[in-house]
Amino acid sequence: MRSGVLPGGIAGPPELLPFEGSGRTAICIALTQDPVDEPSFRRHPPGPSDPGARLIETADGHAFTYGQMFGLSGAIANALIAIGVKPGDRVAVQVGKSPEALALYLACVRAGAIFLPLNPAYTLSELDYFFGDAEPRVVICEPDGKAGVAAIVAANIRVETLGDAGEGSLLTLAAAADREFADVARGPDDLAAILYTSGTTGRSKGAMLTHANLASNAFTLVRHWRFTAGDVLIHALPIFHTHGLFVATNVALLAGASMIFLTRFDPAAVISAMPRATVMMGVPTFYVRLLQHPDLDKAAAAGMRLFVSGSAPLLPETFAAWLDRTGHAILERYGMTETNMNTSNPYDGDRIAGTVGPPLPDVDLRITNPQDGAPLPRGEIGMIEVQGPNVFKGYWRMPEKTRRGVPERRFFS
């Protein structure tokens, strides 16, 4: 394969080199040496061909183009560097969902920092653990939370603010910064993000996700779910976890698609958006609540091509009711924080209720005996183990848990 050098210093086909002033640099999070075959690159280069293409439409009618998002992320990246952020530094973010929050994510990636999103509902006692474990260089929080955050972080940690309406000290710094930004070179194995797991088996663990982890999975999903620049995604998920950030957002960005960006899930708002959209990603409770709305019918969903469900099991009864009401079979998939997406029901062909489909391309999956790790024959119940470019680098500062989860850097269980 012929190759050029992409943002992040990673080799890739020359067809993908960014054009000046576009958002393509920001959305090429990182490309591994061979993320997809060259003919696919030529047919479906990532990102829009026009920086004026719409990326986001908000509930109140405001729009962000790819070029505007690229410029804002460049200004924020310059602001982060000006306050001391260096490649490999963690930037902890506990803010609401907004286009500016998405620009902050892209700015961290472009600056070579490690993006650390945190649930806005976390209490100060919970945040104290995350800040102590991750030792971020900067914390970005909502304006009304600054005093509490400043009281629990170390003296050398900078605290800036970002509000839901675009207010706060971070954007004040960005307004004074240059919107042009030369992306910091990063390699496929460098960390792009740390996401803390729920901690159901003990204290929360920070899953270290590399640029290659995110890029490989996003490219796979773009192809598997047939995303194009003509798609419009209803985005009603939060952006502090894998589903809303790395699945929904990264896939839309790499395809050059646009998003109807809802700050929260509201059934009436989602149904109102359907005539202008083509795809929706949600959790099972989204579909349950939409089924309770009287305006949901086949006419409302006539322009949609795909409904995706994940993050929890979808009941077969919900699958059947949705098919009956809308004429669409929900595509259920399976993933986790440490791996992004692993399996998916097919885009073409039968989608089977109560199942999550076969492994995605480039992902190996096996079922093993939890006691001895031996692979089990078809039909047996056991532990899922996953291998592929999507599998994370390990747990932040927990080498023993990493060794147990990924023995000899092979399958993750």
Residue ranges per structural domain of the chain? 4-186, 211-409
pLDDT of residue 337: 93
Domain 211-409: assigned CATH number: 3.40.50.12780
Q: 10 Å Cβ neighbour count for 377?
A: 7
Angstrom distance (rounded) from CA 291 to CA 141: 35
pLDDT of residue 412: 75
Q: Three-state SS for 58?
A: strand
pLDDT of residue 186: 93
Beta bridge partners of 73: none
pLDDT of residue 199: 61
Level-2 CATH architecture, domain 4-186: 3-Layer(aba) Sandwich (3.40)
User: Tell me, what amino acid is at 163?
Assistant: G
Considering only CA atoms, which of 56, 109, 52 is closest in space to residue 235? Answer: 56
pLDDT of residue 50: 83
pLDDT of residue 48: 64
pLDDT of residue 401: 79
Positions in the chain short of pLDDT 70: 1-49, 199-201, 405-411, 413
Question: Would 4-186 and 211-409 be classified into the same CATH topology?
Answer: yes
The pair of three-digit structure tokens given for residue 349, joined into one six-digit string: 């062909």
How many residues in total does the chain contain?
413
Q: What confidence tens digit (pLDDT) does each residue in 134-170 have? A: 999 999 999 999 999 999 999 999 999 999 988 999 9
pLDDT of residue 141: 98
Angstrom distance (rounded) from CA 343 to CA 338: 14
The pair of three-digit structure tokens given for residue 165, joined into one six-digit string: 């309406």
Query: Residues 47, 256: contact at Cβ < 8 Å?
Result: yes
Angstrom distance (rounded) from CA 186 to CA 396: 19
- Helix ranges, 17-121 (H): 24-27, 38-43, 66-82, 99-110
Question: Taking the complete model, does pTM exceed 0.85, yes or no?
Answer: yes
